[in-house]
Structure 1
Amino acid sequence: MTNEFAKAEMAAVLDEVQQQFRAIAKVQQQRAELTASATVRKRITVTVNADGTIIETKFASDIDELSYSEIAKAVTEAAQQATAEVMRKAQELMTPLHDRRARLPKLSDLIEGMPDLSAEMPKAPTVSLAPPNAEERRAFAADDRAPMEFSNVEFVSRQPGADRGVTDSSW
Structure 2
Amino acid sequence: MVNERLQADAAMMMEALSEQMLGIAKIQRDRARLTATVTACDKRISVTVNADGILIETRFADDVSDLSYDEIAAAITEAVQAAAAQVGERGRRLMAPLRARKDRLPPLPELIEDMPDFRSVIPVPPPVSIAPPNSPERRYDDEDAGFGDAEPYGRRSMVRDHDE
RMSD after superposition: 2.3
In the other structure, the counterpart of 1:34 is 34
- Give the percent of matched residue pairs that are identical in Structure 1 and Structure 2: 51
Deviation sequence 1:58-84 (CA, Å, 0-9, x none): 112211111111101111111111111
Other-structure match for 1:102: 103
8 Å Cα contact 1:38/1:79 also seen in 2: yes
The count of aligned residue pairs is 144
Residue 82, structure 1, aligned to residue 83, structure 2: yes
Which gives a bigger RCO, structure 1 or 2 (Cα 8 Å, sep 6+)?
1
Return the alpha-carbon distance in structure 2 between the equivalents of residues 94 and 115 of structure 1: 26
Deviation at 1:129, TM superposition (A): 0.2
1:136 corresponding residue in structure 2: 137
State whether structure 2 residue 67 is matched by structure 1 residue 66: yes
Larger Rg: 1
Q: Find the aligned partners of 1:8 and 1:144 in 2 and give their Cα distance.
A: 55
Query: 2:79 & 2:136 partners in 1: Cα distance?
Result: 22
Tell me the amino acid that sits aligned with residue 134 of structure 2.
Answer: N
State the 1:104 CA deviation. Answer: 2.6
Shift, 1:13, TM fit: 3.9
Map of 2:23 onto structure 1: 23
Shift in CA distance, 102/144, structure 1 to aligned 2, threshold 3 Å: farther
The answer to whether the Cα contact below 8 Å between 1:13 and 1:104 also exists between their aligned partners in 2 is: no
TM-score by length of 1: 0.74
Q: Whole-Å Cα distance in 1 between the matches of residues 47 and 26 of structure 2? A: 27
Are the equivalent residues in 2 in contact too, given 1:47–1:57 (CA < 8 A)?
yes
After superposing the two structures, state which structure 1 stretch, 97-106 or 65-74, moved more.
97-106
